[in-house]
Structures are given as structure tokens and as C-alpha cells.
Structure 1
Amino acid sequence: MIEFLAPVSKIVVAHREVLPAGTLGKQILLHAKQHELPDLKEVKFAIFGCKENRRDVNFIGSEINFDSVRKSLYSLYPGNWKHKIVDLGDIEKGDTVEDSYFAIQTVTSALLKKKIIPLIFGASQDTLYAQYRAYDSLGNMVNLVNVDHRFDLGDADAPISNKSYVGKIIIDKPYNLFNYSVLGYQSYFNPPQEIGLMDTLFFDAIRLGEVTKDITEVEPILRDADIVTIDSRAIQFADTGIGGSPNGFNGREICAIARYAGISNKVKSFSVFELLDFNANEAGAMLIAQLYWYFIEGVNFRVLDDIFNDENSFTTYKVPVNNDVLTFKKSSKTGRWWIELPFISNLNNKLKRRTLLPCTYGEYLGATNQELPERWLKARKKNEI
């Protein structure tokens, strides 16, 4: 993968030298010279940027760099972390967009195979397609969570763009997508037919107001994700200077989401797309840097509470609801809840790890009042198709 990676810019390397001792910049391993990658042994996180933005519907030839975000991230102090971080530099634009996709897929796949979590700085969000395709070699179905104001489904037969790429993820072989969830969508940015299609496909679509009313409700969705990605335009303009919409997540809310993504034992890659240079916007660069900080913080505090072959590690509850008997499991370590999906337990190996669906205590209480959990129903209906 080294042939696809350009070193971290000299500006960032120079900035790193003047940082105080103990900051992340002094601890992150750096790809500072061409073709000289740091040793990846015992590394848990690998930062790299993707500068491809030619499929942005508003592309007018602009170039992207991530120096401001890097400098902000490097200036932060780590928590009580035990994992090593490396910054691999950037993937420059290829001769074609497809060349860029291939490079992103190759680098991401190589890191995943080494059990290293890619932390991706992204330009236009269509490159998420390449991040997703990197999972092809892992052999499991994939749950994708997109924190976004739009669904980005688009027309699967039309050319891919940063507002129309999920359709390609759904229909292109190999078929690895099990579930697609959008957190924080805003109705006025989405065609009614896409809202209907999300429901028809039994995907999860949660409006901005629903998430901000009780942000803890999205934790189970993030706990069940393999990929978590954030469109920076899902954040309100006042906090980032991106996108132009006054409505969106504020800084505290989006950082909480990033931390929930980190504490999930299943999330294997994390990205933020639609980034700008931020040269004149220090606050925007710092907020994006803090998203990565909170994700890394979450990973460092992961607890293995989802291994269910030890009966002493959880409590099982059976709840009769109409003609069904729902089985809930509560972790003795963390108090987190799951619900069993017996209807997919005998399917192919790609789906076997999906037989337990993360849920909330509230969904358990709802079941005791004869209410079937909505995500459990969607999983069953998806299996019946």
C-alpha cells in the first residue's frame, strides 16, 4: 500500500516539532519521508487522507488538504490511552477517479487485514464507496452507519457522485451490505421517494430531532456498525463553516456520536467526509479533530461484553409478545442490552454474527408492554424478503 501514500506535509511536520511534550503530535508515528512507512507493529489506528473530490457535484477544480485538521489533532493531549497511532499521510488524486477508489480500497483493506482501524480524512463522500468495498475480502455482511443530513441513495444507474453513491453500494456485487442506517437526516434535503425507499428496504432512518431529543437512543445502532462515517454537513454551519445549513448537530452532540462509535466492539473503520482546508477556520478544524479524538477515546475504553458463550457474563430475559417470545440479554459488565434474532440463526456464515441485535433498556420495557421493537421487526421482515 506504500505506493499509494504521500507523506505528511512538511508544514505539519514542522508544526509537530514545536508542540509541547505529551501532545498527540509528539506520540503519533509519522510517514514523513516518501516510501518510508513507520513500523506498523502494535499499531491500532492509522490516519490517512483521501483528496479525491472530482465527483463532488459542485466541483470546480478545487484542491483539498488536511493540514489544518492534522495540526489541530496533533495539538490535543491523549487520554489514558494504550494504543499506538500512525499517520500514513494522504492518497493523492489518481489519473482517474476509479484509480483513487482503487487506492483507497487497497490501503483500507490492507489495514483491516492487519486489524488496524483506518481513520480517514475525506474530501467528497462518494469515496465512501471505496471504503466500503475494502470489506469485500473480510467475508462478512457489513452494517454501514452514515451520520448525514441526506440519504445519498441516488439513482444506481446514474454516475456516482457525493450525493448519489449508496445505490451503488446496494446493487453492486459482491452483495455485502446487511443494513444501512442514517442518523440525523433532515426531511427537506431528501426527495420523498428516497424517504419511502429507506422504509421499503427496512433500513434505519432517524431524523435529526429524534436523535437530539435523546442521543443515547442511537448507541445500539452504532454498536452494531462495521463502518461509521460522518458527513461534515450534518453539523450545523455555525460550528464548522461547512454546508451552509443552520440546522444540524452541535459540537457536543456530534462528539458524543463519535465516542459511541468508538466504544462499539464491531466498528473497524471511521471516516469524516466533505472536509475543507479550514485555513481560515480554526474552530471548524478543531471540531473535526475532536471527532477523531473522541472516537479514539471510545476505542481505548472498549469492553468485551458481547461474547455470549459464558452464561455468567449476562442475564437472559424471556418476554412473551403476542405470538412471539423475545429473548433479551443484559451484560453484567456494562449493562448494555441485546435482543435475539432467531430467524437468521440458521442462515449462511456471513450472517451468523447478526443473531444478536443491540437494543436499549427502553425497548425491553416496551416489549413487557407488548410492543415489538421496530429494529427487530425490520430485521425479521428483511429476512422474509
Structure 2
Amino acid sequence: MNFNFLSPVSDLVLAHNELLSAQALGRKIKIHSEQNGIPDLEDVSIAIIGVLENRNDINYIGAEFNLDEIRKSFYSLYPGTWTTTIADLGDINKGESVEDTYFALKTAINLLVKKNIIPVILGGTQDLTYPNYRAYDNLIPMVNIVNVDSKFDLGDSTKPIKNNSFVGKIVLDKPYNLFNYATIGYQTYFNSQEEIDLMDNLYFESYRLGDVSNNISLVEPVLRDANIVTIDLSSVRSAEVSLNQKYSPNGLDGKEICAISRYAGISNKVTSFGIYEYKPSKDDEITSMLISQMLWYFIEGVNLRVKDDDFSDERNYQKFITLIESEELIFYKSNKTGRWWIEIPFLSEVNNKLKRHTLLPCMHQDYLDACNNKVPDRWYKAFRKNCM
């Protein structure tokens, strides 16, 4: 694969890596260096890519930044009992234009996903989610995006793309490949009523910060159904991050953001994962360590993946049927993991592009609600999207 647009990991980070224990992560992963070039990716499962693009930040001031502190923190951690091979492919530098950077990232993600390698993107501004999404244009028919963010980032699609208004472009730009967009950890006071109404009208999913903090497992099904997971660091409360990173006194705490990262890793469908809006500062150690631990938990999740959604063999699952008014709802429970799905039979009959969404991940609570004559919210929104 041709990755000529990637610059190697800095000598400063490599020198720091040489001082680490032989058991540390940095000594066990493949690293793109000036001396050795891009590593062989034949047995690689996860590839880290830094993207040094921040020109679409609404507060852009022209300051340069790098990801050295994140790498030093991540390399210093110790791996779990992992079977996956990890590579750090270095950075995509700013192109002549933002569109050049987009093209390089889109190309890199497309090539890696085709090779069944999960790209982990470190940025940079969150508008990089747009080229991440466009990398799937010729890979799968429909795409699910989960955004961990305090805001919906819908914005005005008629205006130039920015880091707080990229989703409108994803929704309205051809080809139309987006099936579902979900926001985890949103805070109502950061979102206009128009955006909240638009999320409802498009039957997209949203999970309020308070609900997520009360029950973190609430977000597991939507992450299980995601192809792309993108995290805005502004979703993390100020007490957890360094000075430049502080955004709001309320937000997800360190344990919650790591649990979400782990859920994303465990999902069999997640094929790209991004952490964005990193803003380094002199007291940067706490933010870089938090990002490193998020990466660690994502990789831990990937190593715990279990293929449990094959329902062709009756020995692998239990089937439950409920009746709500005149609608028959069919649930499946995996015997391997205990995870639940709900069937949406009409999707494959109406629109071939939606065939892969016939089984929708859900929770045991959704089955209990159906037994009490309550239609599960995820099922209803998927039904309505199909009718639009």
C-alpha cells in the first residue's frame, strides 16, 4: 500500500521509547520511523494515524501542534493479553489546502479498511469525520456514525464546513450513504432547539449526558451497530483534562469515556475510531494520558470481540416473539454473549441498501418493554427512517 503522504514518528518520541521497559507498548508495536520507513502491515490489525489538521477550527489561530505527548504516554503503557498487532503509521501533515488533507485521510482509511485493518485517527479537528465517512463510499452500502460529543454538530450545510458543523454536509452530500447518526453525551444547553428538532425529525439517536452517566450500558447497542465512532474531547468534563482542553464543568468523566471506548472496540462493526479536538498545552500530561487510556481500552475491546450475530444456526441463539397491537416483534438473544437484537423484517423488502440493518442491536430492557406493550425507541426510529 502506498502511504507516501505519511510522515514518520518524530525522533524525540523514538528516543523516549528506547528508554521504556521492554514490556511497554511502545516496544511491542510497529512504528513508522525515518530510518526504517513504513512497517510491513501484513499481520497488523490496528493502525494509528495522526492528522495534524486544525484549520477548520472555528477558533483557529494558526498555531502548530503535534501528537508527541500522546505517543509518549501511549507507548509507556503496558498491553493486556492481546493477540492483535498494532502499528503507528505516523502523521498526515496539513496539505496545501484542507481538502488535500481530507483526500489523504480518506485514501488512508479506505486502504486500511479494505485490508481489514482498523484505523485509529488522532486529530486535529472533528470535521475530519467527514473524509472518514467518505472513505466508505465504495466499501459498504450504508454507514452508521456514532459521535461522542456535547453538541450535535449539525450546522448549516450551505456554509463552509467547520469542526462544529460537519454533520449537515454528511447528511446532504451525495452519495447518500448515511443510515444512522447518533450522539452520545449531548448537553441540551449547548444545542439550539432547531437542532434538537432536526435530530428528532431525521429519526437520529441522541443520548443525554445525565442518562449516559446514570447507566453507561445504555449506549452499548448503538455502538455495537456503528461503523465509525468519533469522539470530541470537549465531551469530557474540565476536571479530567489540562488547561487548554477545558470546555465545560459538566461532561463525561475518565471512567465513562474509557468505557465508551471499550464498547466501541468490542463492536464487531466498528471499523474506524477517531479521537479529535486535542489541544496540547504546557500542562498537557493529563490529557495525553487520558487519550492514551482511551486508546488502550479501545484496543482491549477489539481483542475481546466475539462473533455472536450469526443466527443461521439455531444452537447459537434464543428467539423471542412479542405482540404490540398488530405488530409482531421478534427478538434474538446470543447464547455466546447474552447480547440482544430485534428484527426489522421490512427493511430488506423495501430497500436493498438497508438489507444489512435487518437485525438491530438492542438491550434486554427493550424486550421487557415490548412485553409491556411499549415499542422500543431504536426499533421505531429505524422503522420511520425506512418510511422517509
Per the normalisation by structure 1, the TM-score is 0.98
Q: Where in structure 1 do 4 or more consecutive aligned residues deviate above 6 Å? A: none
Structure 1: 5+ residue runs without aligned partners? Answer: none
The corresponding residue for 1:51 is 52
Match of 1:377 among 366, 375, 380: 380
Q: Structure 1 pair 104/58, CA: closer, same or farther in 2 (3 Å)?
A: same
- Does residue 245 in structure 1 map to residue 248 in structure 2? yes
Match of 1:311 among 311, 314, 322: 314
The alpha-carbon deviation at position 367 of structure 1 amounts to 0.4
CA distance in 1, matches of 2:246, 2:118: 28
Kindly provide the amino acid, as one letter, of the partner of residue 227 in structure 1: I
The answer to whether the 8 Å contact 1:169/1:177 transfers is: yes
Kindly provide the amino acid, as one letter, of the partner of residue 14 in structure 1: A
CA distance in 2, matches of 1:278, 1:31: 25
What secondary structure is seen at the aligned counterpart in 2 of 1:41? coil
The alpha-carbon deviation at position 35 of structure 1 amounts to 8.3
Deviations 1:22-53 (A, max 9, x none): 11000110100278211001100000101110
The corresponding residue for 2:148 is 147
- Does residue 298 in structure 1 map to residue 301 in structure 2? yes
Structure 2: 5+ residue runs without aligned partners? Answer: none
Match of 2:291 among 283, 288, 293: 288
CA distance in 2, matches of 1:167, 1:161: 11
Kindly provide the amino acid, as one letter, of the partner of residue 326 in structure 2: N
CA distance in 2, matches of 1:322, 1:155: 40
The corresponding residue for 1:25 is 26
The Cα RMSD (Å) is 1.1
CA distance in 2, matches of 1:326, 1:266: 24
The answer to whether the 8 Å contact 1:68/1:279 transfers is: no
Matches within 5 A, 1:226-245: 226-241=227-242, 242-245=245-248
The corresponding residue for 2:173 is 172
Q: Structure 1 pair 380/89, CA: closer, same or farther in 2 (3 Å)?
A: same
Question: What percentage of residue pairs aligned between the two structures are identical?
Answer: 56
- Does residue 258 in structure 1 map to residue 284 in structure 2? no
Deviations 1:30-83 (A, max 9, x none): 100278211001100000101110010000101121111111110011001001
- Does residue 275 in structure 1 map to residue 291 in structure 2? no
The answer to whether the 8 Å contact 1:65/1:276 transfers is: no
The alpha-carbon deviation at position 359 of structure 1 amounts to 0.4
Give the number of equivalent residue pairs.
385
CA distance in 2, matches of 1:322, 1:156: 40
What secondary structure is seen at the aligned counterpart in 2 of 1:222? helix
Matches within 5 A, 1:1-385: 1-33=2-34, 36-241=37-242, 242-385=245-388
CA distance in 2, matches of 1:309, 1:279: 55
CA distance in 2, matches of 1:68, 1:35: 22
Higher deviation after alignment, 349-358 or 129-138: 349-358
CA distance in 2, matches of 1:204, 1:111: 28
